[in-house]
Structure 1
Amino acid sequence: MISIRTICLLTVIFSFTQLAIGVELTFELLDNAKDCFYEDIKLNTTVTLEFQVVTGGAYDVDVILLAPDNEVLYKLTKAQFDSHTFTTTKSGVHAVCFSNEFSTFSHKLVYMDLQVGEETPLPGLGEHVTALTQMESSALEIHKSINSIADYQTHHRLREAQSRKRAEELNERVFVWSLLETIAILSVTLGQVLIVKNLFSDKRPSQLNKL
């Protein structure tokens, strides 16, 4: 007899193997550069594009989504993050392009998630003609919860990476400012010592007449 723990483990495995077809990646977008990603999508397919600039510059990029005939389906200028869902009206290769051409010195780290089509249902639950049993309902709820947890973990990792980068930049600026202050204090102190030394080392006019 299969235990409840084994059923839960199988549900976890199925939840990760039955995801919708798509692309999820984090890539580096160089300064004054443009990167495009292509996906062959069928007609009347639901597509969701989500992106976020993790690090670099002002955390912004230009985004454009093109249909197979180069029709602009979605476009943003200097955006930090967004999510866009649409249904395809043409079959063919769609393009998602990220541009950093407006930046001449700072490169960006960009996260992109492109989900194509609806999520595949759990085995045995796709065309269920009768009422779900308690075990099937529990498996379905666990499956939805795991998907939500995976999404939350992804966004938390992105926020963590963004916060870490900002903290490193702030730490670097504080270090440079502290170093400049230290150099300034040492320079002022050395200058004062030299001035006082020169005052006491100069001979008085009376001493020069005696010589």
Structure 2
Amino acid sequence: MMFSWPKKWLVLTLASVVCEISFCRTFVKVDANEELCFFEDLKKMDPLVVTFQVMEGGYLDIDARILSPSNEALYSQERVKEGTKRITAQVDGRYTICFGNTMSTMTAKLVSFGIHAGHGELVSHEVAKQEHIYPIQTKVLELADKVTQLKDLEQNLKARSARHKQTADSTNKRSLYTSMLESVVLVSVNLWQIYYLRQFFEVKRYI
């Protein structure tokens, strides 16, 4: 997996990548009014699975695109919070995955996404014939795809849990500050009432 550095597209300010063989889970920060693109070199009939979720920033939305080697849009969504897209390469070449934050003028977005590209190579033993290997190979590839989907689902659930925890912590802080403000206002009102009553009785005693 590679990513682009065109000045008019993006400035990569944060990238934390964890990869296992052909599956990568990436956290990237897409600044306001910029687009971040990654590349995958695929062969014909190779699968490409892209999943993503916006973790932080604004309304938690992002523009997502997948382009063919000829720059044909295979997938295009605007202002989405999360998504999963699976395609099969129709031609050999470099496919492009882009995340755009051009709708925002000030707020950066933190995006978590995973890419699973290609099946990898399986080598058969010389004594085995292709007709014997093919059914097993097909099952292994199906299992590999399902394991990848489960891994990605687990990552999405973890990311969603972290986002909910952040929201809960923010709500608790706001509740605490609101309670403190109410207490200050209540004490201030009580002090003012005491002061007013004392002034009232002092004036009356003087008369």
**Do the two structures share a fold, i.e. TM-score over 0.5?**
yes
**Structure 2 partner of 1:135:** none
Q: Which has the higher relative contact order, 1 or 2, with Cα contacts under 8 A spaced 6 or more apart?
A: 1
Contact 1:29/1:110 (8 A) holds in 2: yes
- C-alpha root-mean-square deviation of aligned residues, in Å? 3.6
Which letter maps to 1:167? A
Shift of residue 165 of structure 1?
1.5
Q: Is the 8 A contact 2:52 2:114 kept in 1?
A: yes
- In 2, Cα distance between the equivalents of 1:175 and 1:126? 70
| TM-score when normalising by structure 1 | 0.68
Q: Deviations over 1:87-127 (max 9, x none)?
A: 22343332211122323444322111111112555987996
Percent of aligned pairs sharing the same letter: 26
Letter in 2 for 1:153: E
Aligned residue for 2:98?
97
- The answer to whether the 8 A contact 1:55-1:165 is kept is no
- For residue 132 of structure 2, what is the aligned residue in structure 1? 129
Structure 2 CA distance for aligned equivalents of residues 198 and 27 of structure 1: 64
Aligned ranges for residues 36-185 of structure 1 at < 5 Å?
Answer: 36-118=37-119, 120=121, 129=132, 150-185=151-186
Asked if residue 26 in structure 1 is aligned to residue 59 in structure 2, the reply is no
Contact 1:22 / 1:116 at 8 angstroms: preserved in 2?
yes
| 1:98 partner amino acid | F
CA distances 1:141-175 after superposition (whole Å, capped 9, x unpaired)? x9788656634532332222122211122122212
How many equivalent pairs are there? 184
Aligned to 1:3: none
Gaps spanning 5+ residues in structure 1: where? 1-15, 133-138
TM-score by length of 2: 0.69
Taking structure 1 as reference, are residues 66 and 55 closer, same or farther at Cα in structure 2, changes over 3 Å only? same
Higher helix share: 1
Report which of the two structures shows the higher radius of gyration computed on alpha carbons: 1
96 and 145 in structure 1: CA distance in 2 versus 1, 3 angstrom threshold: closer
Determine whether 1:199 maps to 2:197: no
* Alpha-carbon distance in structure 2 between the residues aligned to 1:79 and 1:48: 17
